[in-house]
Structure 1
Amino acid sequence: MIVNRRQLIAASGVALAGTILSPAISTSAATVFAQKKLPYDENALSPTISARTVGLHYGKHHAGYFRKLNQLVQNTAYADLSLDEVVSESTAKNDQAIFNQAAQAWNHDFYWAQFRGRPEAPTGSFKEAVEREFGGMDGLKKKVVETADTVFGTGWVWLVNDNGKLAVLGLPDAGTPIAAGKVAIVGIDVWEHAYYLDYENRRTEHVSAVFDNLVNWRHASDQFQP
């Protein structure tokens, strides 16, 4: 018999109800969604992003989104879904509290993964699309940096696949391509916690440096499906 997450949590709750717990035993909600392991050491992105920023960003902010999400989905239908399904479902239901935590959890999983490995040049159909729609990497960078400057307050800059074409989106707060029905190719975090320790208020300098030094364009190429 296959037991889903909700059934497992419910069964655990029944078992615990008949047990006298000592003060040392935690009674917090079961973990449904788990933060992905950082795919490199905290100092691997330095000097573009310092180890201190990575430690706070990944260890405090990113981890916090998962912790709050798990609290919110306990004993709800969301606990049976994948993380991207939670983003889509909470968008459709206008469930802002769930969306904020789920989208930020998903966004950051994607964010760290795109920096894995040695940065490589774009390839194949993705490279052709960049040249066709932006005139090359310089044109794409210009668009990304300009878009970052238009995001008021917190948010993200995303390069997305929009029905086979590349587009750059500036989305506020927890904005994510999933909610817009588009496929993420590259995502640069422009919340202050992503750059302020290293760049203070120089947001576009941070975005430019991440674009030049950290994004693995082979990873981006792999995300593109025209």
Structure 2
Amino acid sequence: MDKQLSRRDALKLGGAAIALAATGRAWGEEPFIEGQYEGQYGAADVGKYVLPPLPYAANALAPLLDAKTLTIHHDKHHAGYVRGANKTLNALDGARNSQDFAKIKSLSRALAFHISGHVLHTLFWHSMAAGGSPPAAELVAAVKRDFGAVDAMQQQFAAAAKKVEGSGWGVLAYEPIGHRLLVLQAEKHQNLAVWGAVPLLVCDVWEHAYYLQYQNRRSDWVDAFMSMANWKFASERYAAATA
């Protein structure tokens, strides 16, 4: 992948990675604990996936999202998913070369977890803009068709994000077989996904996304996100998905 992820590249990120299905253990058989694998990847930092830069200054979303929270989230947590994806791909290369697939179950889980985490975080940075932005007419028409009203969709999206069980995401997605928009929850990064659905706008409700500023007040964080939602970006992704 190119070292710099352009806005055009972000628009191309589609449903394959978010829809990778795996259960919630990242490596081996132990349960996943947030942050436990960060800093363990060494040479895997040089791989097929690269951490994209933030599309704005770290303080651009303040006071609703402070620079410290945003910087740690991007530089530590998102970077960990990139390293995890590359380490897993390297391990799979080794498995193929040695014809030893004893760890294929845990590696498949790790691949889904880390690549889905990378895709969703890449979209997440673009899903926010200072002051928010309005949707294009085409997306408004699709929302009214599938949800009845823009307010109804936004209320469902916020409710879904607030009620994710454990760590995960609220997602507005376009499902191409039914040609319709869906509000989805993602647990962790990869669970509850709909195969082939293209995420248009995503809200991170892992505690690392908001805890430094909002503590345990996830509802307040989601309300803040909604006021920053970049519907212009969602509109561009909808146009690309339906072209």
- TM-score strictly above 0.5: yes
Q: In structure 1, what is the equivalent of residue 114 of structure 2? A: 101
Distance of 1:176 and 1:124 partners within structure 2: 31
- Residues 31-84 of structure 1 deviation map (CA, whole Å, 9 limit, x = unaligned): 321111111111111111111110110011001111222222126459xxxxxx
Match among 213, 217, 222 for residue 207 of structure 1? 222
Comparing 126-135 and 97-106, the one that deviates more? 126-135
Comparing 37-46 and 93-102, the one that deviates more? 93-102
Q: In structure 1, what is the equivalent of residue 142 of structure 2? A: 129
Change (3 A) 1:166 1:194: same
Alignment partner of 1:28: what SS?
helix
Q: In structure 1, what is the equivalent of residue 73 of structure 2? A: 57
Q: In structure 1, what is the equivalent of residue 15 of structure 2? A: none
Match among 52, 75, 85 for residue 36 of structure 1? 52
- Is the 1:159–1:187 contact (alpha carbons within 8 Å) kept by the matching residues of 2? yes
- Residues 158-199 of structure 1 deviation map (CA, whole Å, 9 limit, x = unaligned): 000023211100110012797621011110001001111121
Q: In structure 1, what is the equivalent of residue 209 of structure 2? A: 194
Q: In structure 2, what is the equivalent of residue 47 of structure 1? A: 63
- Is the 1:185–1:220 contact (alpha carbons within 8 Å) kept by the matching residues of 2? yes
Alignment partner of 2:43: what SS?
coil
Shift of 1:208: 1.8
The AA in structure 1 aligned to 2:154 is K
- Residues 111-167 of structure 1 deviation map (CA, whole Å, 9 limit, x = unaligned): 112225763211122111122233333212210121123311001110000232111
Runs of 5+ in structure 2 lacking a partner? 1-41, 95-103
Q: In structure 2, what is the equivalent of residue 15 of structure 1? A: none
Change (3 A) 1:123 1:165: same
Which protein has greater RCO, CA pairs closer than 8 Å, 6+ apart? 2
Runs of 5+ in structure 1 lacking a partner? 1-26, 79-89
Q: In structure 2, what is the equivalent of residue 84 of structure 1? A: none
Alignment of 1:171-186 (within 5 A): 171-175=186-190, 180-186=195-201
- Is the 1:62–1:105 contact (alpha carbons within 8 Å) kept by the matching residues of 2? yes
Match among 228, 231, 235 for residue 217 of structure 1? 231
- Is the 1:141–1:208 contact (alpha carbons within 8 Å) kept by the matching residues of 2? no
Alignment partner of 1:139: what SS?
helix
Shift of 1:110: 0.9
Q: In structure 2, what is the equivalent of residue 22 of structure 1? A: none
Between Structure 1 and Structure 2, whose CA radius of gyration is higher?
A: 1
- Is the 1:177–1:183 contact (alpha carbons within 8 Å) kept by the matching residues of 2? no
Q: For this pair of structures, how many residues does the alignment match?
A: 187
- Is the 2:160–2:183 contact (alpha carbons within 8 Å) kept by the matching residues of 1? yes
Distance of 2:63 and 2:110 partners within structure 1: 35
Q: In structure 1, what is the equivalent of residue 158 of structure 2? A: 145
Change (3 A) 1:118 1:151: closer
